[in-house]
Structure 1
């Protein structure tokens, strides 16, 4: 069977307003000019579409147009991000990558019969488990296997339901399946990940990426907060567990980890690159590039009406900060005391605004609270409708430079090419 295959290196690029596909693709072209193929995956969730009032077909149209305009000959994908059985329908026609989010189902008990059947089917996991490339070994008792299966089987079965619904429409092998387990309370152990992957294989879901949970915080649009050495250890264990599952459970050979909220996690990019090379594997860096913020930076940089609008968006975001931050509370850390008053921001020039917003940790005026509030403030721009979109169009050149440079220099180059500043 011919199956659509995701390349070893891929980058999940959000584009909330579907205006920056060419600028994003240009970053992948720059990587190609360096001899490295990094394929773009344009991802957008049902929640984002609902907030903006957009449709998945618009994401597909923007991607197709960019690929045609820039003569991109490699593969590319459109991802129905964090999809569920309830929300998948509108994504069936335009998408060819599906992130099946079953995090809410983790911990819901599987039936005793399903759990016991799993334990009997996977006695190979009992005893001492050795993972290639990892010095430590793992002891798995029948009780541990039963408890972990009981924790994850229900969620994996839900993923199976979503997968089969997509398969009925798209056909076998015509899309990339991903299972997302990252939005949970704690990181999965290597044994838990093995059990999850065995269950996914039992459900006959040919996943090509899996999003595990890591320790630390992956806040929106800012750097990783946590122990980098611990992250490195967890990532290595995930690579090793995936390699074991490919070998033992006949999962696709290109299966790789997907790192969600991967945007701007500068402190762990060298670790991702080095660990990926160590295991001779790939990675999907998802939600990378903070495109909406680069649009805002471009407008502010352009001055005039663009800067005026950028200030207005901040003032509105500040006024509605509790409402905007609520849905993202688990992935932002905003210090209200560090948010400048809108009156102060109204007096800023372009450089003051962009210095506070652009993610440059060496810039003394950089303000992560200001940045995070604006990150979740895209709803304000969405309500402005054509006023915002028209300004994007009239300032396309300066916006595009920011989008491309950010995605290539700060994300693609360090992760996939090993270029570090």
Structure 2
């Protein structure tokens, strides 16, 4: 099929949606299989990649787009798809993704967040606020107000809450609005539809209800075409493993954040680092009443390594050893807790199945309704770029996936069907 005859991604609006990031370029048939089996009522985003991921895998926006759309057609998908240009930081990021047809633009203003704001004492907070006060004109609009959500939760927009929000997010909000205006300008000039997700999840501290309310309210009042927002939820949402934390407390928090989204928008709540979080999917789906987006990426790469483990056991051992050598460098930009000391080296694990168990886990051994938890997955997850661009391992992994497409489709189908069914449980 020619590039000209590939389907065009569309905006998905407020339908529940699931993003299938693919770092290999050949995962879409497995993603489609899971959607065909368990995706009723959920809209897919098959083309999805961040600028950071493209850089680490030496892929291009047009390559990501065409690989996903062609895979979608080859697998028999006749429904619609969105296309997520993920973690955009600059106008250049917008340009290179907009021109090839991405429709869902995820703005990442994390470079402008003051990540230490939650720890400032009163004197430091006031000092820091004085530095940004000229750039943040909205504090007086909120200070002293109280918002009562429909579920009875109250948001106290006291002086401290407003000043801390201004210091922590003021400049990042300005950057997000600037980038949003640029996206609107580019897309409207080209006559293309678009929707925007705002990511404020890449912080150590959870997003407070006051911060969520102010950020979303400012985005909407300033004309951002906001379809979804990704707060930093309580607990730990690490790469490659299930949610870590108190599920009961998370449920309360999700309900409150969802109430804000319905009150101000409505817009969807988005879950980043969303793969493998099966234990909390039902809570997210129920709290939002279907107004959710879940974003995954690295987990499809891990399933690609499972194909290697099943068909070329010696090569899998080599990749694990190579990944261990790269992990402490490559993990720098990721939220993970794994250390090399937590997992035995391949030379210490004689059984091939045990090696897969320690570094990828086995679904048959995971309790119903739970996700993977072992730290070995994070070692492999963070090192995808080093493996896929390595002159030896990159071509070998690609060859194995090409030789065994049915295996890759089968493991992805099983993997994501479990994800989608967990989300369906709350709908």
TM-score by length of 2: 0.84
Establish whether residue 161 from structure 1 lines up as the match of residue 178 from structure 2. yes
State how far apart, in whole Å, the 2-side matches of 1:191 and 1:344 are.
50
Shift of 1:126: 4.4
Q: CA deviation at 1:234?
A: 1.5
Q: 2:145 aligns with which of 117, 127, 137?
A: 127
Q: How far apart, CA to CA, are the structure 2 residues paired with 1:284 and 1:295?
A: 24
Aligned: 1:333 with 2:340? no
Residue 217 (structure 1) aligned with residue 236 (structure 2): yes
Alpha-carbon distance in structure 2 between the residues aligned to 1:147 and 1:371: 36
C-alpha deviation, 1:151, in angstroms: 3.7
Q: Which residue of 2 aligns with 1:62?
A: 67
Offset of residue 170 of structure 1: 2.0
Deviation at 1:63, TM superposition (A): 1.8
- 3-state SS of paired residue (1:285): strand
8 Å Cα contact 1:149/1:195 also seen in 2: no
How far apart, CA to CA, are the structure 2 residues paired with 1:145 and 1:173? 37
Query: 2: distance between equivalents of 1:147 and 1:216?
Result: 21
Unaligned runs of 5+ residues in structure 2 are 1-9, 115-127
Answer yes or no: is 1:243 the counterpart of 2:243. Answer: no
Aligned partner of 1:312 among 300, 306, 318: 318
1:363-402 matches, within 5 Å, as: 368-378=374-384, 379-383=386-390, 384-402=393-411
Match of 1:84? 89
Does structure 2 conserve the Cα–Cα contact (< 8 Å) formed by 1:289 and 1:403? no
SS at match of 2:400: helix
1:269 aligns with 2:297: no
What CA deviation, in whole Å up to 9, does each residue of 1:90-141 have, x standing for no partner?
Answer: 22222221110012212386743453x4245x46x74331111x23323334
| 1:4-403 map, 5 Å | 4-32=11-39, 35-85=40-90, 87-94=93-100, 95-107=102-114, 111-115=132-136, 117-119=137-139, 122=141, 126-132=144-150, 134-141=151-158, 144-171=161-188, 174-246=193-265, 253=266, 255-276=267-288, 280-287=289-296, 290-302=299-311, 306-328=312-334, 331-345=335-349, 347-349=350-352, 351-356=353-358, 357-358=360-361, 360=363, 362=365, 368-378=374-384, 379-383=386-390, 384-403=393-412
Separation of aligned partners in 2, 1:233 and 1:288: 27
- Deviation string 1:129-174 (CA, Å, 9 cap, x unpaired) is 1111x23323334564455345423211211221222223222761
In structure 2, the CA distance between the partners of 1:207 and 1:269, relative to structure 1 (3 Å rule), is same
CA distance in 1, matches of 2:85, 2:38: 25
What is the distance in 2 between the residues matched to 1:363 and 1:98? 35
Distance 1:272 1:289, change over 3 A: farther
- 1:404 alignment partner in structure 2: 413
How far did residue 327 of structure 1 move? Answer: 3.1
Secondary structure at 1:224 match in 2: coil
Structure 2 CA distance, aligned partners of 1:307 and 1:176? 44
Relative distance call for 1:128 and 1:162 in structure 2 (3 A) is closer
SS in structure 2 of the partner of residue 88 of structure 1: helix
CA contact (8 A) 1:318 1:342 kept: no
RMSD: 2.6
Write the distance in 1 (CA, Å) between the matches of 2:362 and 2:223.
Answer: 42
Q: In 1, are the aligned partners of 2:272 and 2:295 still within 8 Å (CA)?
A: yes
- The CA deviation at 1:24 is 0.7
Q: Distance in 1 between matches of 2:164 and 2:205?
A: 16
**2:22·2:298 contact (CA, 8 Å) conserved in 1?**
no
Structure 1 CA distance for aligned equivalents of residues 162 and 82 of structure 2: 36
Alpha-carbon spacing, 1:293–1:169, altered in 2? closer, same or farther (3 Å):
same
Q: 1:231 to 1:391 in 2, by over 3 A?
A: same
> SS of the counterpart of 2:156?
strand
TM-score (structure 1 length as normaliser): 0.85
Q: Using the alignment, how far apart are the partners of 2:32 and 2:14 within structure 1?
A: 15
Deviation at 1:69, TM superposition (A): 2.5
Note the residue ranges of structure 1 that are not aligned, 5 or more in a row: 247-252
Per mean C-alpha deviation after superposition, the further-off stretch among 389-398 and 106-115 is 106-115
Cα deviation code 1:179-200 (max 9, x no counterpart): 1000112112212211101111
